């Protein structure tokens, strides 16, 4: 959401606001500093012979690079309680260390291209997920990269972190690292349209919008990507507005945890809770209450581990169950037991 604001401030030469936007973005997620370095670099080339290159672009790039090193190499391992950044583990299938994996890709560009476009698992069930993603990007404005390749450069880190892991959950248009394409594709479209002769701008914009909308609706109905739940995205269907839960009953029951210092809850309950701290179950820590939707998504646990965790809670002396039905389980910490 901050990316379009950065482009706006940068285009208007409001560089203080642009820098503040970058700072806010870098503080949101550990990969943002890397992404912004790739966003700023092609913009810097347009200022290469101007004072802005040294007064604006170089300081912005330096800030992003320094932030990336500090956050990725030092802050994230501390937050993860590890000696190294655990997120690098998803790339270690290419080498024993992150640097080794990177060097293997650099030494073999053909291998990198293969990884970016093909199924790297041994399961044919995940064939064509990457192809579906690439086609969707092209039909959503990616074809404009041929006219404005700088926007493709801006997406290099997103492509790599999305397609290099040997995990199909990252590859498709369902989950991680898809939303980052939206502002860049939108800005690429706006930039390209503004450069077209005025007589052709409106027809070009209409065609581009129509193609994107048709592709979007098609992928709402038909998708190669695994674990796609069409009910969540088909806003035009009746099923999208129905739920398997008794909402009124659940809302009444969860009020017991209102005002508590800490709760642990299923992710779908979290937005409806009024507590000082909310942990994503199975993280418990100092939670006074645990609120679980047994029929909801069990992530990050497998369905078996999720069931086992509930069995463990039922046998625990630290928590007592105070509410139970098919939709909701509520546990309260026994005050006489030690917190763990």
Q: What is the pLDDT of residues 127-158, one digit of tens each?
A: 999 999 999 999 999 999 999 999 999 999 99
Residue 80, pLDDT > 90, answer no
pLDDT tens string 1-33: 999 999 999 999 999 999 999 999 999 988 999
User: pTM for the whole thing?
Assistant: 0.80
Neighbours of 249 (CB within 10 A): 12
- Across the chain, mean pLDDT equals 91
Q: Are strands 262-265 and 277-280 parallel, antiparallel or unpaired?
A: parallel
Residues 6+ apart with CB under 8 A from 281: 264, 265, 266, 290, 291, 292
Q: Dig out the tokens for 163 from the structure.
A: 């397609």
For residue 227, the model assigns a pLDDT of: 76
Q: For helices 58-70 and 32-45, give the axis angle rounded to 10 degrees.
A: 160
Residue ranges of alpha helices (H) inside 108-155 are 109-117, 129-139, 149-154
Q: Dig out the tokens for 62 from the structure.
A: 């330096």
For residue 337, the model assigns a pLDDT of: 53
Per-residue pLDDT band for 57 (boundaries 50, 70, 90) equals very high
In the chain, what is the straight-line distance between the N-terminal and C-terminal CA atoms, in Å? 38
For residue 340, the model assigns a pLDDT of: 43
Residues 6+ apart with CB under 8 A from 201: 193, 194
* Cα–Cα dist 326/324, whole Å: 7
For residue 230, the model assigns a pLDDT of: 86
Per-residue pLDDT band for 336 (boundaries 50, 70, 90) equals low
Mean pLDDT of 78-101: 86
**Look-up of token digits 């670099």:** 41
pLDDT tens string 104-114: 889 989 999 99
Residue 338, pLDDT > 80, answer no
For residue 133, the model assigns a pLDDT of: 95
For residue 244, the model assigns a pLDDT of: 85
Q: Domain coordinates of the chain in residue numbers?
A: 2-232, 247-333
pLDDT tens string 250-287: 999 999 999 999 999 999 999 999 998 999 999 999 99
For residue 319, the model assigns a pLDDT of: 95
Mean pLDDT of 87-115: 89
* Cα–Cα dist 194/144, whole Å: 13
Q: For helices 156-163 and 32-45, give the axis angle rounded to 10 degrees.
A: 150
* Cα–Cα dist 288/261, whole Å: 7
* Cα–Cα dist 207/219, whole Å: 18
Classify 263 as helix, strand or coil: strand
**CB-based contact 189:7 (threshold 8 Å):** no
**Look-up of token digits 């999208």:** 240
């Amino acid at each position: 959401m901050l990316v379009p604001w950065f482009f706006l401030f940068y285009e208007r030469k409001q560089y203080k606001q642009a820098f503040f936007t970058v700072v806010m973005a870098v503080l949101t997620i550990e990969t943002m500093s890397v992404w912004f370095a790739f966003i700023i670099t092609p913009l810097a080339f347009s200022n290469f012979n101007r004072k802005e290159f040294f007064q604006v672009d170089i300081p912005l790039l330096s800030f992003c690079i320094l932030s990336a090193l500090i956050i990725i190499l030092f802050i994230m391992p501390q937050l993860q309680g590890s000696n190294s950044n655990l997120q690098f583990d998803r790339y270690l299938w290419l080498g024993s260390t992150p640097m080794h994996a990177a060097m293997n890709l650099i030494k073999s560009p053909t291998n990198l291209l293969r990884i970016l476009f093909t199924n790297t698992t041994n399961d044919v069930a995940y064939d064509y997920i990457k192809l579906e993603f690439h086609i969707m990007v092209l039909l959503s404005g990616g074809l404009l990269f041929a006219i404005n390749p700088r926007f493709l450069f801006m997406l290099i880190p997103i492509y790599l972190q999305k397609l290099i892991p040997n995990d199909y959950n990252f590859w498709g248009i369902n989950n991680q690292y898809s939303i980052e394409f939206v502002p860049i594709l939108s800005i690429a479209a706006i930039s390209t349209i503004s450069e077209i002769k005025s007589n052709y701008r409106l027809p070009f914009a209409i065609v581009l919008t129509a193609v994107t909308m048709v592709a979007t609706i098609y992928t709402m109905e038909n998708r190669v990507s695994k674990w796609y739940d069409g009910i969540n995205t088909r806003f035009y269907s009746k099923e999208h507005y129905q739920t398997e839960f008794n909402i009124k009953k659940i809302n009444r029951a969860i009020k017991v945890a209102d005002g508590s210092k800490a709760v642990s809850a299923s992710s779908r309950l979290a937005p409806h809770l009024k507590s000082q701290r909310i942990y994503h179950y199975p993280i418990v820590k100092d939670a006074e209450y645990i609120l679980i939707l047994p029929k909801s998504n069990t992530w990050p646990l497998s369905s078996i581990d999720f069931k086992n965790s509930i069995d463990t809670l039922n046998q625990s002396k630290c928590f007592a169950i105070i509410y139970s039905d098919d939709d909701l389980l509520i546990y309260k910490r026994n005050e006489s037991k030690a917190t763990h």
